[in-house]
Structures are given as structure tokens and as C-alpha cells.
């Protein structure tokens, strides 16, 4: 690991560093602490202020480019605590209004990027066209909503990420960089928990007059756990059966799987891993929902939250042109 604040290499002063990401966040973060003392003259003084640029490397690979957003100091401590975000944070911190007509998510992304001077890299093509008004929504919600609408049609999942200075929209698929994590090799420990607290195994669909239209069941889950019903109001022009099926898929038996393993920079949110662990019964391909990369005391480790299912941060910002009384332009 190599860490720069501005152009100053502070690697030797860093006690610990955590680089992390999550599928529900468009910004990756970097949190670290470094040695500092108001009295010990042997410790170099580092100019680290809010807004200072920070870069993290692993070997020759540039992992993180961002800025300082939080600082913590105390006269009783010999370290300064620093919190940073990459360029993704600005997608959440900037709001705008747009009216899109018969356009694609990829066109929406490029339009927003051009308007805000954001360089683009790989932008996943969908070919899906939609019309929608966004009035005062943050840029992340606008882009993510566009890709969520495409996902509902094509079944593919997408992830927003910055690679260096470039905004990228990538499809979440199995790649050649998928790693194998197994006991006796690079797996340190694994835990798995299951819950049916938020289970939905029946969706009751009602029309605009609140009359029951039909019920959509997962009969297998009902047989195991009893009826847990969700109410769905049928909207005009909406495929209520598809929406009901989605509710059932999104609210089945919940599993949380946590893996701690020897560090590898390929293990990032949006990617996949293959896990072999007999005690917990974890065998097969998993999607990474969140990742933490920690460097401490010369040891590099990962903490991964993984999932059997390929999911994305589905958003539903904005409104259809005919729902808010306005016209698209």
C-alpha cells in the first residue's frame, strides 16, 4: 500500500487504512489514520485539510482518487483520523432537473456527464428507451433510475463506479477476474445467517376501486412458512403481475454471508467470487454486495458481503410525463 496526501507520501505514518464500497453507494470511501503530534518533533507535520486530494495505490495500481471530507483530531491522541470519498460523491451532492423523451439510460448518462464536465469511460448500452421527468433529483438517482427501468425489462443488473477520473456504468456479470476463495488457502473465516422476518410469499393485487383482482403466490414458501401477504395497487398501464413477481423475488428468504479473506484488489463491489467452505455449506458463485479492504500492521485483508443473487440499487426517482401534469421537451 502507498498513500499520498497531495504529493506527500505518508505511507510510513499510516497506522491503518480501509478502502470500501457498497452496491447501494455510488462513491467508494477511504478511511485512514496517520501519526501526528503537537509536541513530538520527530513526527513530520503533514498538511492535510478538508478538500485535500488523496491517492491510494497497491503496488503500481491506482485504487483510489478522492478528497478529504472529514478530519478528526484530539490533543489526547497521537493520530489524525481522515475520511475520504472518490468522485462518486458528487453524483449524490449535485441535483438537477431534466425532462427526457424516448431516450436511453446510456444517453441520459452521457448528457448528465457532459453538463457537469464529468469524463466518461465504459457506459453499458441497453437500447431501452423511456420518457421521464426528473425535477430536483440528485444525479445518482437519475442515472440509477434510468438503468433500473432498463433492468426491469432486460433482467440485467448494473453498477455505477468511478475508475480514476472516468464515470463508468458496468453490467454486473461473471468475469475472468473471478477469484476462488477456499479454506486452507486464502479464506480466513466465513459466517452465514438466514431470516424470514421480511418474507413475502403472497401478493394480493387490487384495482383502482380497491377490489381484489388476483393473488400471486410462492406456494413452496407458503407451505414452509405460512402466508405473509403484501398489498399491491394496480396502476393503469402497469404490468402488475410482473411487479408482484418482483416483490416475491426481492422478499424471499434473506441470507447474509460475510467472508474474511487474504486481501486481493480484484474483490470489489459489482464483481464475483467463487467460495468453497464445507462447514457453512458455502459452495459456488457469489456476487459481491460490499467490500472492505484493510491494511493494518503490514497485513492486507478483505471483508466481503456476498450474495447468491445478482442485485442492484434499484431507484425510482422522477415521474412519468403524464403523472405530474407537465410536458416533455
Q: Please tell me the pTM assigned to this model.
A: 0.84
What are 138-149's pLDDT values in tens digits?
A: 999 999 999 999
| CA 21 centroid distance within chain | 6
| CA 236 centroid distance within chain | 32
For residue 178, what is the DSSP state? P
Q: Is 278 exposed, middle or buried (0-12, 13-18, 19+ CB in 10 A)?
A: exposed
Length, in residues, of the chain? 329
Q: Which three cell numbers stand for residue 183?
A: 479454506
pLDDT at 254: 79
Cα separation, 223 vs 284, in Å, equals 27
pLDDT at 327: 43
Please, which pLDDT band fits residue 323 given cuts at 50, 70 and 90?
low
Query: Average pLDDT in the 153-174 region?
Result: 91
| pLDDT, mean over the chain | 89
pLDDT at 41: 78
Higher pLDDT, 193 or 280: 193
How far separated are the first and last CA of the chain, in Å rounded?
50
pLDDT at 328: 40
Q: Which three cell numbers stand for residue 290?
A: 460490499
pLDDT at 324 over 70: no
pLDDT at 267: 93
Please state whether beta strands 8-9 and 272-277 pair in parallel, antiparallel, or not at all (unpaired).
unpaired
139-154 helix and 105-115 helix, angle to the nearest 10 degrees: 170
Please state whether beta strands 8-9 and 14-22 pair in parallel, antiparallel, or not at all (unpaired).
unpaired
Distances (CA, A) of 186 to 57, 250, 262, 283: 22, 31, 5, 15
Query: Average pLDDT in the 29-33 region?
Result: 96
Cα separation, 120 vs 110, in Å, equals 8
pLDDT at 176: 67
Amino acid at each position: 500500500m502507498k498513500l499520498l496526501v497531495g504529493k506527500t507520501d505518508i505511507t510510513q505514518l499510516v497506522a491503518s487504512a480501509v478502502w470500501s464500497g457498497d452496491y447501494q453507494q455510488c462513491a467508494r470511501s477511504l478511511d485512514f489514520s496517520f501519526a501526528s503530534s503537537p509536541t513530538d518533533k520527530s513526527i513530520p507535520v503533514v498538511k492535510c485539510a478538508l478538500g485535500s486530494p488523496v491517492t491510494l495505490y497497491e503496488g503500481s495500481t491506482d485504487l483510489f482518487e478522492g478528497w478529504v471530507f472529514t478530519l478528526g483530531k484530539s490533543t489526547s491522541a497521537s493520530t489524525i483520523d481522515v475520511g475520504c470519498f472518490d468522485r462518486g460523491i458528487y453524483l449524490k451532492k449535485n441535483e438537477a432537473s431534466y425532462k427526457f423523451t424516448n431516450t436511453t439510460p446510456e444517453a441520459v448518462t452521457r448528457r448528465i456527464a457532459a453538463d457537469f464536465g464529468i469524463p466518461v469511460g465504459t457506459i453499458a448500452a441497453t437500447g431501452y428507451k423511456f420518457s421521464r421527468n426528473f425535477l430536483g433529483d440528485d444525479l445518482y438517482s437519475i442515472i440509477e433510475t434510468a438503468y433500473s427501468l432498463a433492468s426491469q425489462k432486460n433482467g440485467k443488473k448494473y453498477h455505477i463506479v468511478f475508475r480514476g477520473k472516468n464515470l463508468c456504468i458496468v453490467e454486473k456479470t461473471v468475469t475472468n477476474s473471478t477469484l476462488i476463495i477456499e479454506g486452507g488457502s486464502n479464506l480466513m473465516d466465513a459466517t452465514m445467517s438466514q431470516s424470514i422476518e421480511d418474507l413475502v410469499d403472497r401478493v394480493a393485487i387490487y384495482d383502482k376501486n380497491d377490489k381484489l383482482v388476483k393473488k400471486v403466490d410462492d406456494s413452496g414458501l407458503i407451505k414452509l412458512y405460512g402466508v405473509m401477504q403484501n398489498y399491491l395497487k394496480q396502476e393503469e398501464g402497469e404490468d402488475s403481475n410482473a411487479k408482484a413477481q418482483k416483490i416475491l423475488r426481492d422478499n424471499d428468504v434473506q441470507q447474509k454471508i460475510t467472508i474474511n479473506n487474504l486481501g486481493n484488489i480484484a474483490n470489489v463491489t459489482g464483481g464475483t467470487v467463487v467460495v468453497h467452505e464445507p462447514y457453512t455449506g458455502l459452495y459456488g458463485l457469489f456476487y459481491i454486495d460490499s467490500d472492505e479492504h484493510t491494511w493494518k500492521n503490514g497485513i492486507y485483508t478483505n471483508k466481503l458481503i456476498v450474495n447468491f443473487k445478482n442485485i442492484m440499487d434499484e431507484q425510482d426517482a422522477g415521474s412519468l410525463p403524464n403523472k405530474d401534469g407537465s410536458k416533455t421537451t
